[in-house]
Amino acid sequence: MTDHFELLGLPRRFALDPQALEQAYRLRSRAVHPDYHAQATQAERQASMELSAALNTAYTVLRDPFRRADYLVQLLGGPSAAEHKQMPPDFLAEMLECREQLEQARGQPQALARLEADFHRRSQQLIEQLGQLFAELEQLAPDDPRQAEIRRRIRMVLNAGQYVRGLLRDLNAGGA
């Protein structure tokens, strides 16, 4: 089975050049787009539509750092969010405080803007942590027993990222 990285002709790693991703997507999607296969047989048109849909999915997943990390850690045999629900120590208490701050900031545009900037900063820090963890993982031999621990730590950071993204979504939706 072809994974998203292979489908787009990219290396299977967390650190991707956004321009290379965009270029690979555009090149491949242009070649398989159903509009270019209008005169083909029904089977060829169907294959074109399926490949086009697969490319769109691959691009959507790989361009989002959190989704890319989630996809990659599962490809590498790491736990899913359902299998490992832990978050970094003290994180939940900190997020509960953020949720309270969000509630208190309702109707105060400046306070909401500060919170939004803080949540984006936290999100970026988590992406940086993911990058560091995946870089550590790449340095280890495939049979190194430390791989499992790093994949577990990646999952913890991803779980934290989901929470921060939820706060941003709630802030931007106006409800919490």
Q: What's the whole-number mean pLDDT along residues 62-87?
A: 94
CA angle 37, 43, 47 (to 5 degrees): 65
Using DSSP, state whether 172 is helix, strand or coil: helix
At residue 60, the pLDDT reads: 98
At residue 102, the pLDDT reads: 94
Task: Answer for the pair 134, 13: CB distance below 8 angstroms, yes or no.
Answer: yes
- 6 Ramachandran zone, left/alpha/beta (phi>0; psi -120 to 50): alpha
Give pairs for 144-148: CB < 8 Å, separation 24+. Answer: 147/76
At residue 37, the pLDDT reads: 65
Q: What's the whole-number mean pLDDT along residues 1-14?
A: 94
N- to C-terminal Cα separation, the chain: 41
Q: Per-residue pLDDT tens for 79-135? A: 999 999 888 778 889 999 999 999 999 999 999 999 999 999 999 999 999 999 999
pLDDT of 47 > 90? The answer is: no
Contacts of 142 (CB under 8 A, 6+ apart): none
At residue 39, the pLDDT reads: 73
- Of the given ranges (25-34, 56-65, 126-135), which has the lowest mean pLDDT? 25-34
Q: Per-residue pLDDT tens for 156-166? A: 999 999 999 99
- Of the given ranges (10-14, 46-50, 74-78, 102-106), which has the lowest mean pLDDT? 46-50
At residue 176, the pLDDT reads: 42
